[in-house]
Amino acid sequence: MSARPVTLFATHAWVEGAWARDVLLGIGADGHWDQVRADVPMAQRLGARVLPAPVLPGVVNAHSHAFQRAIAGLTERSSGPAAASDDFWSWRERMYSVASRISPDQLEAIACFLYAELLAAGYTQVCEFHYLHNAADGQPEADPLEMSLALVRAARSVGIGLTLLPTLYMHAGFGATALQTNQRRFASTPDSVLRLVEQLRAQSAPGSLFHVGLAVHSLRAADLGAIRELDAHARREQLPIHIHVAEQTQEVQDCIAATGQRPIEHLLTKLRLDARWNLVHATHGTVAELKAVSQSGASIVLCPSTEANLGDGVFDLLAYADAGGRWSIGSDSHVTRCWTEEMRLLEYSQRMTRRQRNLAGRAAGASSTAGALLQGAIGGGSAASGVRLGGIRLGQRADFLVLDDQSPSLLGVPPGHVLDALVFSSPDARISEVYVAGRKRLDEPQAGAQRARNFAQIMKTLWA
């Protein structure tokens, strides 16, 4: 945390959904904003450290599988004859090939490299949907916390905030009673997951950047009784709870065959969703389902680059926005590690299906589509992470980034259009400084080079 109060000054900062000018920013000793004042005259800025370029709030990466960074770029070839189908389910088999082999040390090194990438891109908190609980042979690790703590150490090393979500994974699909052989590392029960949650919470001191929630992999991977047990614990302890849902059409069909209901419909009727719940993907939700999710207070976590990469489909952002739904953004399989690209893909997918422009902005009643997208991601970030990360405003954690306004995509852009250019003009603009809880966090070159060497060596080992 910030060792002492700090006062900063920004000529332009994104505050409460709009650009504010001449902003005095105060960070308390606890690393949270204790002063945010715009239009501050020169006499009141004396002694404040001047930030060199426009300032944006940090963004929560609400859905991560860190180990999948090791397959980015390695699943882009068909696994069979040209006529064979290639979809999420065939991709999943390739993903299992690394999930079944990766060691705790390898996981830590991969996560270190990934989390540094995320931080450099302006993500300041990552929600890690973590189901690699067991040893490679499926037996319990000697220390049940070993794989989890590898991720905690990685986040602490980099300086990014982490919400770790130990994940329940009980069986291979609807109607199944066991896991497949290549899923044995995921095996868990409500008791084992809740033990992990409580042991990990003991590692999270007040004021630290490490937080804990919990997750259910999916409706196909856990029965309702087990999900209710986790939900009851999350309700008592006020923890965020996440679940994959309605990502693929086959999942929807299988759920209907098994339960007579669609996945989101099944969640809504069998569980009492509220603001602690985060539904990941929800790609194939109906208009009625999306409206009901919004009314429940739950959030949806969108992962546009992964949903596009896997051919999942297009989320109906406009219907959800019309219902007043809250959402956050995640990079999931990490085929990209940049939130601006996630937002660009989210908007462009809507444009391609509806053949209109600036749809997210129109749905939010905002003049800036990029602004509407950023506000959407910020709006759901606190719910996903369980941390006060609601942007640059009093009482929220002081996570922010400083742009490099000499980046080619920003050069000469009027101040009021900088965010638009950041999201919709590529290549991506550079970020010169990133702060988490008021402290500058970007890597020193030497540390970054060592992380890169470690990652490259592990990739050689995994794919030799």
Pairwise CA distance, residues 313 & 369, whole Å:
22
Structure tokens at 13: 């900062």
Instruction: Scan for tokens 């001047």, then name that residue.
Output: 50
> Which residue, among 217, 222, 214, 209, has the nearest Cα to 240 in the 3D structure?
214
Q: Select which of 312, 316, 332, 428 is catalytic.
A: 332
Q: Which residue has the tokens 């505050």?
A: 15
Phi, psi of 152 (to 5 degrees): -65, -45
Is 223 assigned a catalytic role?
no
CA distances from 155 to 74, 163, 426 (A): 25, 10, 28
Q: Kindly give, in sequence order, each residue whose CB lies less than 8 Å from that of residue 384, ignoring residues fewer than 6 positions away.
A: 60, 62, 63, 127, 163, 240, 242, 278, 299, 301, 328, 330
Active site residue 281: yes
Using an 8 Å Cβ cutoff, are 68 and 333 in contact? yes
Among 130, 133, 211, 281, which one carries the catalytic annotation? 281
Alpha carbon distance 236, 121 (integer Å): 35
DSSP letter for 17, please.
T
Q: What angle do CA 318, 328, 116 make, to 5 degrees?
A: 140
User: CB under 8 Å to 272, separation ≥6 — which residues?
Assistant: 231
Active site residues: 281, 332
